[in-house]
Structures are given as structure tokens and as C-alpha cells.
């Protein structure tokens, strides 16, 4: 392990100790995963967004035995929680599958930290001939040496987000999980040194069946478990060297808070979601308002009816290098943009009016970002 990596591991884990009822081996396990991530090129601040808020640490820590397979991981700390990042997930880990966890591990501030492992994607890299780096990864079945049509198996699809939305953050990838599909090319694709190379000027067409995540596990809120969510079943995307275009997307629907919304796509455009690390493929909803008619939560209680300003299929953005992409965790989410007219109560605060909402839902999670103004208390 390099001196810089040993110093990085000290920055991340100095003075950590295991929490109550946590196996002592969790500390070594967490350090091994974080050390592996540092070796793969991640900086300490990539692995723990709260590093700038922590006391400065000097010295080094030697890493325990490295994992058999190089792996990624990050620290979830209460210090890193924000409105835009309520789960304290670093930018490179948005939308990725989470594996084994270690902790809670208590830091020098007395806070409990969880180290989350992330499996590196097994999908194959694709690049255009002459390009400096790959533009995406796809789960190719087998390893054909040359073909104009490739069969895709179950796995992750990630592609440079700037192909879909030119103003997306540099280095960001949009991704989703599929159960299978095909990739066709107007010119033969060749396998070179473990990656697929597409001739300059060729057009690729991806047709895939999406693979949504299993319903939320653990203790998901009753409003999520009571919702009916039908994500698009299929997607077709055309790639050139400079663009990605969603040409077709299956119909979608949701029933949430007692209101049903159907969403279709005719000529779908894509845009960045304000304030969130996501791209939305814009659809057309079959209703113009959204009523919070049935609410089961006692902690967050929306009420009233708001104008439905927009609906879409949202894809997470992971900002990382193509060689350190994780496996995608799901098949995107359904996104509703609501206007004014509704309000909410969030215990223990009093009722508040909302100027706008972003509601994101998939089978595993439900998020609401509410904007407005209120009186300081």
C-alpha cells in the first residue's frame, strides 16, 4: 500500500472503534474496502463526503489484507446528510448497488459511521475508434470477437450523460439495470483488449428490457409499500459518437397517496433535474393535478392538491471514471414535478405550504423534495 493511500486511510478511519454489538472484525473489513477504493484511484473526500467537516488527521494506517476482488466502498456519515443528499452518498455512488456493510463504527466525534461496499460493474466497456476513453458499458453475453449485433444479458448499462443532455456534469454517467436485450451497429464492433471498439461514424441501437429493483426491504414507509409502481418495461436508445437519443420507452404508471398517474412518451426529450443528481426523460401525464388523498405516514404528512407540472423517467447520475462504475441498482424512477397548492406537516414542525415539489419513486424508495418559504422558529 502506498504512503499516500496509508495517509488517506488515516484521514478516513483514524481513531475509529466498533460500536456496541458490532464484531471487532468490522473495523478491519471496513478499512480493507476503503483501502481498495483508494488503490483504485479514489480520494478520501470521494469516499466520505464529510471529510472537510472532520478534524484534521495526520499519520498513516496500514491496510488489512485486501479483498480478493478489488472493490469499492464509501462511508455513510450523519455529517454528510443534506437536503440534496439525504442518504449521504458520494457523487460517484449515485444509483449503484450496495453490498455488504460494516459498522456502525464510532469516530472521534462520537458519531456512528457505516461503510458500504459497492461491486464494480462486470459490464464491458464500449468506445468509439480514436476516442480517448469509453463512452459507456453494457452487459454483453459471451465475448464475440466481431459483430454487428450483440446479445445483452442481465446487468448494468451506463453511458456518458453528456450524450443525452449536453449540460450534464462532466464525467457523469446515466445508468440503469436490464434483464436482457440487443445492441445493433451499422458497422462491425470488434473486441480489443477486453473492450469493444465501435468504428467512427457508426450508429448503435440499444433495445433492452428494464429490470426494476425488488420492493423496499427493511422498514420502508407505509406510503411506499402501499403504492403501485409500474416503471417502463422496455427502452430503445440510439447512440452516435456525440449523442444519445431515447427513441422509445414503455408506458409507465403509479398510484401514490391515493392518486393514479399514467405516463406515456411520444418524442421524449431529456433534461437535468434541478437540485438532484439525475436526468429526466420527459413524458406526458394523463392528469393535470395531484391530490394527496390518502397518507399513511405520521412523520411526513402531505395534504391538499397541487398542479402536476411535469412527469418523467429519472436516471441517476454517477460522477466517476468508467473503470470505477458500480453495478446499477435499479431501472430508474418515476419523477413528478408539482406546483403550488398543497402543503405538509413534518413532525414536530407545524403545517407549511409548499411552492413546489419533486417526488421520485421506484419500488425500493420514495423521496420528496419540497420547496417553499416559512418563518424561522
What is the CB-side half-sphere exposure of residue 374 using CA atoms within 13 A?
A: 14
The set of residues, in sequence order, having a beta carbon less than 8 Å from that of 201 and lying 6+ positions away, is 187, 241
**Domain ranges, ordered by start, for the chain:** 3-118, 124-371
Assess contact for 166 and 142: CB atoms under 8 A: no
Helix (H) or strand (E) holding 26: helix 25-39
Using a pLDDT cut of 70, give the percent of the chain over it. Answer: 95
pLDDT at 377: 53
pLDDT, mean of residues 45-64:
87
Cell numbers of 94, please? Answer: 449515485
* CB-based contact 74:93 (threshold 8 Å): yes
Which one is predicted more confidently, 62 or 232?
232
Residue 204: what pLDDT?
Answer: 98
- Strands of 107-170, DSSP E: 112-118, 124-128, 136-138, 146-152, 155-160
Strand 195-198 relative to strand 172-192: parallel, antiparallel, unpaired?
Answer: antiparallel
Q: Rounded to whole angstroms, how far apart are CA atoms 276 and 267?
A: 24
User: In degrees, to the nearest 5, what angle opens at C-alpha 210 toward C-alphas 209 and 214?
Assistant: 135
Q: Is the pLDDT of residue 302 over 70?
A: yes
Helix (H) or strand (E) run with residue 198 in it = strand 195-198
Q: Is the pLDDT of residue 333 over 60?
A: yes
CA–CA distance, 326 with 23 (Å, rounded to integer): 27
pLDDT of residue 85: 83
- Encode pLDDT of 62-79 as tens digits: 878 777 777 899 999 999
Which DSSP state fits 328? Answer: B
Q: What is the pLDDT of residues 234-268, one digit of tens each?
A: 999 999 999 999 999 999 999 999 999 999 998 88
3-state secondary structure of 220: coil
Q: Is 137 helix (H, G, I), strand (E, B) or coil?
A: strand
Residue 197 · residue 129 · CB < 8 Å = yes
Other C-beta atoms lying within 10 Å of the C-beta of residue 124: 19
Q: What is the pLDDT of residue 327?
A: 96
- pLDDT confidence of 57, banded at 50, 70, 90? confident
Q: Closest Cα partner for 360 from 84, 76, 82, 48? A: 84
Closest CA to 133 of 322, 317, 326, 320: 322
Contact 132, 121 (CB under 8 A): no
Whether the Cβ atoms of residue 38 and residue 8 lie closer than 8 Å to each other: yes
Query: Pairing between strand 101-106 and 155-160?
Result: unpaired
Read off the pLDDT of residues 164-187 as tens digits, 9 standing for 90 and up: 999 999 999 999 999 999 999 999
Mean pLDDT of 95-118: 95
Amino acid at each position: 500500500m502506498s504512503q499516500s493511500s496509508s495517509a488517506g486511510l488515516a484521514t478516513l478511519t483514524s481513531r475509529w472503534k466498533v460500536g456496541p454489538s458490532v464484531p471487532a472484525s468490522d473495523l478491519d473489513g471496513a478499512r480493507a474496502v476503503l483501502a481498495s477504493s483508494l488503490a483504485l484511484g479514489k480520494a478520501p473526500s470521494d469516499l466520505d463526503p464529510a471529510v472537510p467537516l472532520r478534524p484534521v488527521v495526520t499519520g498513516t494506517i496500514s491496510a488489512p489484507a485486501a479483498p480478493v476482488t478489488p472493490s469499492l466502498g464509501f462511508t455513510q456519515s450523519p455529517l454528510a446528510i443534506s437536503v440534496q443528499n439525504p442518504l449521504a452518498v458520494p457523487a460517484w455512488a449515485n444509483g449503484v448497488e450496495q453490498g455488504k456493510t460494516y459498522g456502525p463504527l464510532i469516530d472521534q466525534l462520537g458519531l456512528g459511521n457505516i461503510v458500504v461496499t459497492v461491486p464494480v460493474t462486470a459490464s464491458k466497456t464500449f468506445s468509439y475508434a480514436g476516442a480517448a476513453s469509453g463512452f459507456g458499458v453494457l452487459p454483453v453475453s459471451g465475448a464475440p470477437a466481431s459483430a454487428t449485433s450483440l446479445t445483452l444479458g442481465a446487468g448494468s448499462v451506463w453511458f456518458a450523460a453528456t450524450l443525452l443532455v449536453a449540460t450534464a456534469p462532466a464525467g457523469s454517467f446515466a445508468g440503469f439495470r436490464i434483464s436482457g436485450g440487443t445492441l445493433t451497429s451499422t458497422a462491425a464492433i470488434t473486441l480489443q483488449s477486453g473492450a469493444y471498439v465501435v468504428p467512427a461514424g457508426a450508429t448503435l441501437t440499444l433495445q433492452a428490457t428494464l429490470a426494476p429493483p425488488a420492493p423496499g426491504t427493511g422498514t420502508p414507509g407505509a406510503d411506499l409499500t402501499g403504492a403501485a409502481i409500474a416503471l417502463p418495461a422496455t427502452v430503445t436508445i440510439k447512440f452516435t459518437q456525440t449523442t444519445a437519443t431515447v427513441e422509445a420507452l414503455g408506458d409507465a404508471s403509479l398510484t401514490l397517496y391515493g392518486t393514479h398517474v399514467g405516463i406515456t412518451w411520444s418524442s421524449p426529450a431529456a433534461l437535468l433535474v434541478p437540485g438532484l443528481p439525475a436526468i429526466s426523460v420527459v413524458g406526458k401525464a394523463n392528469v393535470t393535478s395531484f391530490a394527496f388523498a390518502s397518507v399513511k405516514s405520521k412523520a411526513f404528512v402531505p395534504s391538499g392538491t397541487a398542479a402536476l407540472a411535469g412527469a418523467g423517467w429519472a436516471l441517476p447520475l454517477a460522477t466517476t471514471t468508467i473503470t470505477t462504475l458500480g453495478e446499477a441498482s435499479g431501472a430508474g424512477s418515476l419523477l413528478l414535478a408539482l406546483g403550488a397548492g398543497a402543503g405538509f406537516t413534518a413532525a414536530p414542525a407545524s403545517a407549511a405550504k409548499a411552492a413546489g415539489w419533486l417526488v421520485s419513486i421506484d419500488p425500493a424508495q420514495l423521496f420528496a423534495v419540497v420547496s417553499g418559504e416559512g418563518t424561522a422558529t
